[in-house]
């Protein structure tokens, strides 16, 4: 299995866990989120299950239960924790047990687990406090596994997206027209998570894993996906419509569909000693 190579760190990844208004905006349309967001490579789920000493999994920031259901299908018993009652309610309807709380404030009530996982959510958790909390609830040899999707829009789509977003939000604190490649951004997130695990103590030195894959989207499917991204979840409907219209036109110009390349990056470490 390929691992992510060490990369230079051109800038500090922002303290995204402090932006609770974004972290808790995804539940505004939980149905769309669950429908449009992609799942995770089976090889990732299988590797986590195989590396864990048992089948009890704590899913941090479980959202609508996308990865939780994958772990259940692999034979795991999953408990989710999520700060958004709307997302939790959706997950419960799909058969996932969820408790509503931020992970840092969550009361484990003496319960312990064989794995703590977080899919597309750990950047909303204080990294050192979160790693320390994971150490407290993991059994000996338990696994922490944190993972994210980095995807690449085709250049024509990325340009249309960035320019339209800048038109409707000209004072945004970031410029989507001049973004670093997604793999660089997520490498920085992985590095930060690994550093925090080391700082928390009680874990083996973190490993980084990478799984490459592709997914094809029709015009409608891509326009369903984009509003689930944190950059767009809080846009008013009229501004969102401008962005989606621009992206839709770009997809039409490419023949009505696109194939996106994904890299699912993971950081994993084993519980070794008392924190």
Confidence of residue 186 (pLDDT cuts 50, 70, 90): confident
Average pLDDT over residues 241-251: 96
In whole angstroms, what is the distance from residue 226 CA to residue 36 CA?
Answer: 9
Confidence of residue 27 (pLDDT cuts 50, 70, 90): low
pLDDT at 187: 83
**Joined tokens for residue 111:** 């319960």
pLDDT digits (tens, 9 = 90+) for 149-173: 988 889 999 999 999 999 999 987 7
In whole angstroms, what is the distance from residue 123 CA to residue 130 CA?
Answer: 10
Average pLDDT over residues 125-145: 96
Let me know: does 134 contact 122? Beta carbons within 8 Å. Answer: no
In whole angstroms, what is the distance from residue 1 CA to residue 207 CA?
Answer: 12
pTM over 0.75? The answer is yes
| Backbone φ, ψ for residue 86 (5° rounding) | -65, -45
Confidence of residue 102 (pLDDT cuts 50, 70, 90): very high
Determine what percent of the chain is predicted with pLDDT higher than 70. Answer: 86
Domains and CATH numbers, the chain: 16-153+180-213+263-270 (3.40.50.150)
Which range among 183-187, 238-242, 243-247 shows the weakest confidence by mean pLDDT? Answer: 183-187
Whether 9 shows a pLDDT value over 50: the answer reads no
Of 38, 124, 45, 33, nearest to 78 (Cα)? 45
Arithmetic mean of pLDDT over the chain: 88
| Backbone φ, ψ for residue 250 (5° rounding) | -65, -40
**Distance, first Cα to last Cα, the chain:** 30
Residue 114: exposure state from Cβ atoms within 10 A (0-12, 13-18, ≥19): buried
Whether 1 shows a pLDDT value over 60: the answer reads no
Determine what percent of the chain is predicted with pLDDT higher than 90. Answer: 75
């Amino acid at each position: 299995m390929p691992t992510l190579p060490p990369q230079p760190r051109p800038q500090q990844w922002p303290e995204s866990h402090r932006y609770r208004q974004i972290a808790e905006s995804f539940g505004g349309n939980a149905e769309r989120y669950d429908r449009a967001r992609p799942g995770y490579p089976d090889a990732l789920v299988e590797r986590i299950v195989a590396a864990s000493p048992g089948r009890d999994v704590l899913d941090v920031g479980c959202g609508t239960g996308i990865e939780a259901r994958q772990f259940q299908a692999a034979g795991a018993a999953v408990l989710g924790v999520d700060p958004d009652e709307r997302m939790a309610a959706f997950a419960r309807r799909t058969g996932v047990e969820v408790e509503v709380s931020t992970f840092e404030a969550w009361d484990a009530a003496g319960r312990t687990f064989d794995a703590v996982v977080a899919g597309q959510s750990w950047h909303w958790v204080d990294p050192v406090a979160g790693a320390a909390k994971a150490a407290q609830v993991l059994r000996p040899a338990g696994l922490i596994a944190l993972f994210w999707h980095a995807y690449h829009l085709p250049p024509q789509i990325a340009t249309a997206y960035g320019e339209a977003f800048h038109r409707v939000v000209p004072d945004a604190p970031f410029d989507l027209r001049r973004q670093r490649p997604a793999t660089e951004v997520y490498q920085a997130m992985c590095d930060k998570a690994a550093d925090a695990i080391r700082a928390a103590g009680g874990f083996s030195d973190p490993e980084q894993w990478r799984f490459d894959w592709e997914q094809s989207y029709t015009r409608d499917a891509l326009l369903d996906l984009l509003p689930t991204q944190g950059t767009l979840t809080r846009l008013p409907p009229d501004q969102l419509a401008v962005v989606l219209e621009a992206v839709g036109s770009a997809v039409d110009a490419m023949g009505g569909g696109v194939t996106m390349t994904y890299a699912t990056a993971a950081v994993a470490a084993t519980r070794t000693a008392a924190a």
